[in-house]
Amino acid sequence: MPKFFLEDVGSEIFEVIKKGGKKMGVSNLPRVMVESFLREYLEIDFVAGKELKIFNGYYIGLMDETKNVHALKQVQEGKGSSDMIGITRFNHILDHEIFSSCKEVYVVSQGDKRSWKNLATEKYPKPLIFHDGRLALKPTPAESLAMLMWLPYGLILSIIRIILAISLPFKIATPILIFTGIRLTSSIPENSHSNKQNRADANDHSHDHGHLYVCNHRTLLDPLYISFTLQKNLIAVTYSLSRMSEILAPIKTVRLTRNRDNDSNMMMRLLQQGDLVVCPEGTTCREKYLLRFSPLFSEMCDEITPVALDSHVSMFHGTTASGLKCLDPVFFLINPSPVYTVRLLNQVCPKQYSSENVGDCRYHVANHVQEEIGNALGFECTKLTRKDKYMILAGNEGVVKESKSFTNQQ
């Protein structure tokens, strides 16, 4: 909801809002739907709106005819501001008592709204980094109708795409999947590990351990798209992956335990078996931001290949913080033409930082890799973590109960 609401904010009306002292929002939408957005992103002090009826602690989708008047009473009792500014639609001037307490009232017509410019991202009072929900399109009547008409065909198409990905070799599956509408753009530098290894294989040379690929995290399909780009099987270490996703994965997946020593030893063993992919953010981020990178990967090997990933969907997001994670790949592949961009960057050598303090070296490596990926994608690096995301979106720390570790290899 915050994403859709922010996309509808006009820069002109936002400038007017900033002129006011205490700010109050009055909405015909249920207060529970708009209050957090208005308070956090538009810095509204009071919010009045209709209340949803509750039965046994659950909203039942019906609204009370009476509006929440707590904020109105605060204004009437003198807790408002003398420089309060009112904004209303042209045919609703006298609908709310609040406007009698305003110093100025701005009346907005439908024509005025059509001429507004959307508020630029850099002018948001608060950056929009995290948001949840499956819908990637704005649920207007036309868009919603198109989505409902596509959904049955999209579900069948997603099942076909999954079957093709898990049953056919990469060289055969890739062109067929592209024919179904999936778009993959890849870039591999000339001095990358992949090109070096291909030349070594052509000369019948072997290597004694696998290579480490470190990428940002867009969806659960990140390691699979890297495998399709390199045209070879990789091993992916994951956290909070559903059992169904592990079973369907066409590459080997291994769960992290969040115990540093155990995970370090496990990753070292996996590198002896083949090339390894790790997403040090620990969770996905939909917007153009990178979360803090865990430094564990920096101790694994002498050469690391950063991988910059980006994805685009038109109907459904393939990630969730509060929904069923087993459906993430299905929702991503339901999209008519999901797009992925995979860009391998120049290798990073942790030994370059060996002269620094041993305790800080791994953090410098992690920060450098994060910065390289951020620069390649044009994303902003942050210090936010998995815990921050889940506290904001789901009200918990995103900790998964310990269970037996499962692996899958096909």
307 DSSP β-pair partners: 215, 344
* Spatial contact of 290 and 373, defined as CB atoms under 8 Å apart: yes
Contacts of 351 (CB under 8 A, 6+ apart): 302
Structure letter (DSSP) for residue 204: T
pLDDT of residue 383: 92
**Residue type present at position 186:** S
**pLDDT per position in the chain (410 positions), as tens?**
788 888 888 787 787 777 767 777 777 777 878 888 888 888 777 777 777 788 777 777 777 765 555 555 555 555 545 566 666 665 555 455 666 666 677 777 766 677 778 887 888 888 888 888 899 998 889 999 999 999 999 999 999 999 999 999 999 999 999 999 999 999 888 766 666 565 555 454 445 678 899 999 999 999 999 999 999 999 998 877 777 777 778 888 888 888 888 888 899 999 988 899 999 998 999 999 999 999 888 888 888 999 999 999 999 999 988 888 889 999 999 999 999 999 999 988 877 766 555 557 888 889 999 999 999 999 999 999 988 888 888 766 656 554 443 334 33
- Cα-based distances in Å from 73 to 76, 83, 94, 95: 5, 17, 17, 16
Burial class (CB in 10 A: 0-12, 13-18, 19+), 171: exposed
Phi-psi region of 231 (alpha: psi -120 to 50; beta: other; left: phi over 0): left
**Residue type present at position 118:** N
| Alpha helix ranges (H) inside 187-309 | 193-202, 222-230, 243-248, 260-273
pLDDT of residue 198: 57
Q: Which helix (H) or strand (E) holds 15?
A: helix 11-19
d(CA 275, CA 117): 48
* Spatial contact of 85 and 106, defined as CB atoms under 8 Å apart: yes
d(CA 152, CA 156): 7
pLDDT of residue 73: 59
User: Which residue ranges form the domains of the chain, and what is each CATH number?
Assistant: 2-123 (3.40.50), 141-408 (3.40.1130)
Q: CA angle at residue 138 from 142 to 161, to 5 degrees?
A: 85
Helix axis angle, 141-167 to 170-179, nearest 10°: 160
DSSP 282-343: -S---SSEEPPPPGGGGGS-S-EEEEEEEEE-SSB-S--SSS-GGGHHHHHHHSSS-EEEEE
HSE, side-chain direction, 13 A CA sphere, residue 205: 8
pTM: 0.81
d(CA 364, CA 243): 34
* Spatial contact of 227 and 319, defined as CB atoms under 8 Å apart: no
Count Cβ atoms below 10 Å from residue 61 Cβ, excluding itself.
Answer: 8
